[in-house]
Amino acid sequence: MTRMFASLGAKLAVFFIQVFDMYRYLVQCIREVRHLYLYRHQVIEQFYAVGVGSLPLVCLISAFSGMAVAIQMAYQMEAYVPDYMVGSIVVRSVVLVLSPILIGLVLAGRVGAGIASELGTMKVSEQVDALTSMAVDPVGYLMLPRILAGLVMVPILIIFSSFISISAGFIMSVVKMHITVDDFIKGMKLDFMIYDIFVGLVKSTVYGGVLTFVGSYMGLQTVGGAQGVGQSATSAVVVSSALILILDYFLTLALLY
């Protein structure tokens, strides 16, 4: 029993140390914003890598998820609600929930794991130490540009994703579910609110920051060799996915109620 409590206490201590360490990195990152001009090339590179690099995957997933949502809604609602409601439900569910969460989770895998393994490899091959020895702060040079890219490019990707999902849902509804164009558009307009887009953008900005920060942090904490890099990538995906889902609850609660 005592051993169990000791083990639990040790795990909690490690958890709180890690949370404090993450906070320290975050503060350091914010401090480095004043040297942003020095890191401008890395910022542009990361904007391209996170944004343009993820676009094909985001488009593909968004198109199929939009079509699936339209079919699901039409199937579930056909006996109870008029056809035009499909348009309304597709738009609101895509903008508020589906695109931010789905793309957030996909990017946690693609971008977060990529960042963790890239920085992890740099850490174990002494490239991070080389940066430090050359009087360049690894947090500013490696972490800050990636977080900025997440904060700016993830919302843009989610705007793309929403547009593609809705378009795909629209095409599927019209072609396959035989809902008329007028009905779908009527539904879209019915209870569409600009505030929904604001909520979707707030969520996606937070998720973008979370997945790039967690990926960078896990990468810079890597120890050991290939196994350590693998563990960092896995931890980055698991932690950022969990955080995205937990934060989604709180953001939805705070912004919609």
Partner 1 sequence: MMEKKESAIIFKNVHKSFGPLHVLQGLDLDIPFGQITTILGPSGCGKSVTLKHVIGILQADSGLIEVVGHDMSSIRQKELINLRKRIGVLFQSSALFDSMTVKENVAFGLRMHTKMTEAEISERVHVCLDAVKLADTEERMPVELSGGMRKRAALARAIAMSPDFILYDEPTTGLDPNTSNVVGEYILKLQDELDITSVVVTHDMPLTRRISDKVALLFKGKAVAQGTLDDIESSGNEAYQWFVDGRLG
Instruction: Enumerate binding residues for partner 1 (CB under 8 A).
Output: 38, 122, 125-127, 129-130, 132-136
**SS3 assignment, position 206:** helix
Question: DSSP per residue over 6-57, as a string?
Answer: HHHHHHHHHHHHHHHHHHHHHHHHHHHGGGGGGGHHHHHHHHIIIIIHHHHH
Smallest separation, CB 125 to partner 1 (Å): 6
Smallest separation, CB 121 to partner 1 (Å): 8
The number of CA neighbours under 13 Å toward the Cβ of 245 is 7
**Using N-to-C axis directions, what is the helix angle for 144-175 and 84-93, rounded to 10°?**
170
**DSSP element (H, E) containing 124:** helix 113-124
CA dist 226 and 209 (Å) reads: 26
Beta carbon nearer to partner 1, 169 or 215: 215
Smallest separation, CB 38 to partner 1 (Å): 6
Beta carbon nearer to partner 1, 8 or 130: 130
Smallest separation, CB 137 to partner 1 (Å): 8
Smallest separation, CB 139 to partner 1 (Å): 12
Beta carbon nearer to partner 1, 7 or 125: 125
Beta carbon nearer to partner 1, 125 or 180: 125
Phi, psi of 81 (to 5 degrees): -125, 155
Beta carbon nearer to partner 1, 131 or 177: 131
